[in-house]
Amino acid sequence: GKLPFCAMGVSSVIHPKNPHVPTMHFNYRYFEIEEADGTKQWWFGGGTDLTPTYLNEEDAVHFHKTLKEACDKHDLKLYPKYKKWCDDYFYIKHRGERRGIGGIFFDDVDSPSKEEVFQFVKSCAKAVVPCYIPIVKKHCHDSFTPEEKLWQQIRRGRYVEFNLIYDRGTKFGLLTPGSRIESILMSLPLTARWEYMHTPPESSKEAEILEVLRNPRDWVH
């Protein structure tokens, strides 16, 4: 049946023009549902993840270490748990690859207490700028070729496939009466591309990132 609910959150997706600057997404949210007897159920969810067009191992390590430091302030078990959850969640099943190189992701978290989870979520949110902006500054003036731009557009096609087929947030938004469709689809890139049966050459930079997307790495040990 229908139950009163409250949902709030902050979400951001950045799709840079330069293919050497990774796409970054973060979302942190809170849900509350009132049962028929008046009791309330609540939970937090969210995460931060990175989707590079080309692999830069130094950037990947920096990104994951910054998120790990935010998690470790609260519990040393959180980062490995939510890192794996992120790798498993952003999986494009029909492609056999992840959307990106991961980060952290969690949902339906309702313990140990509302205040403790809220403090954890705030730590994660505060880590967004330090984990990502240094990467942007490092690469925003990098030169790139038309071929590298084409590969970026093909990877953005994969981003679209995940968001429209698998993403829980997109599905939830589209099923919510009176929702703003433009806000739900704001995560999609301005442009994307699909190439029939496209396979990058072996030992190429494009093949290198595909290997990581198919076999996630531990970036912090």
Question: How does pLDDT run across 148-183, given as a tens digit for each residue?
Answer: 999 999 999 999 999 999 998 888 888 888 888 998
Q: What confidence tier does 215 reach under pLDDT thresholds 50, 70, 90?
A: very high
Question: How sure is the predictor about 128, in pLDDT bands with cuts at 50, 70 and 90?
Answer: very high
Pair 147, 133: CB distance under 8 Å: no
pLDDT at 1 over 70: no
Using pLDDT thresholds of 50, 70 and 90, give the confidence band for residue 87.
very high
| Residues forming the active site | 25
The CA distance from 86 to 15, in Å, is: 19
Is 55 within 8 Å of 91 (Cβ atoms)? no
pLDDT of residue 183: 86
Q: Give CA–CA dist 31/191, Å, rounded.
A: 32
Note the pLDDT of residue 189: 96
Q: Respond yes or no on whether the N-terminal peptide bond of residue 189 is cis (omega within 30° of 0).
A: no
pLDDT exceeds cutoff 90 at 5 = no
As assigned by CATH, the class of the 5-214 domain is alpha beta
Q: pTM for the full model? A: 0.94
Residues 30, 121: Cα–Cα separation, whole Å:
10
